[in-house]
Amino acid sequence: MAVAAAVHGGYLPSKFRSISGKTVSQSKPTPPPLFISTNPNDVIPNHLKNLYSLCNHSCHRFPKLNSEGRVEPVDLNKLRKALHHSYIVVSVFTRPAFVPGLVPELAPSLTGIGGDWIGKVVPVTPSNGELVGFGRAVSDSGLTAAIYDVMVIPSLRRRGIGRKIVQRMLRILVNRDIYDIAALCSDQEKPFFRACGFGDDVLASTTMMYTRSASADSEDEQIVKYAGRKLLLAPSLRGNLKT
């Protein structure tokens, strides 16, 4: 009704444009049929590992990159542990036909005598769908929570799927009376999380990452060394040699 009134008044809303006499919408593409699950058992670790690879997403703050800029594959055993200990796990599935590049032999077959019409009317489920999105939250179950690893396959991005993942986690956390919710993200991911309702901390707090053991050594007496994949500041060995 509002659109019709505006058109009759000689004004066309900005999201509509006339091209060759046809009115088209400039809105974002709509997402395909989705099934959003909060059941961790719906996530097969091997499939999730493949999703990490498709999204070029790493669990590490300092991932190793190959010559093509691809991150190293996620450790499957650590991924299983992370899933098991996550407070909330959200997974998104769609029909394989909506996933470009999917090998047909790997896609669940729903075709029959009537052709592929069965696949078009059967609802999407984790058993017949393809994993295309994921996100998880960790929490102490009472006071605070943090959101990690929100990802959507590149071919289906900018269709609102990532926001659906975050909104589902937020709804669950708020319903459990948890309101202190953080999202650890890069500068490139900040606009996305701002669009999901996140903002700068009103207390102006800054995330600090553990880098070294507590020590009275001055900065001049510290040395830099590797601990796993991270660079850490550690006390100088000179102090130990003196004693």
Range in 1-5, 105-109, 166-170, 226-230 the model is least confident about? 1-5
Q: What is the CATH class of 34-101+121-201+221-231?
A: alpha beta
User: Do the strands 230-235 and 22-25 form a parallel or antiparallel pair, or are they unpaired?
Assistant: unpaired
Q: Among the residues of 9-74, which ranges form H helices? A: 45-54
Residue 146 near residue 138 (C-beta atoms within 8 A)? yes
Domains of the chain by residue range: 34-101+121-201+221-231
Least confident of 112-121, 160-169, 193-202: 112-121
> Which range (5-19, 71-85, 162-176) has the least confidence?
5-19
Confidence of residue 101 (pLDDT cuts 50, 70, 90): low
pLDDT at 4 over 90: no
* Other residues' Cβ atoms within 10 Å of the Cβ of residue 235: 17
**This prediction's pTM:** 0.72
Exposed e or buried b per residue across 183-218, where buried means at least 16 C-beta atoms within 10 angstroms of its C-beta? bebeeeeeebbeebebeeeeeeeeeeeeeeeeeebe
pLDDT tens profile 129-142? 999 999 999 999 99
Q: Percentage of the chain with pLDDT > 70?
A: 67
Residue 233 has pLDDT above 90, yes or no: no
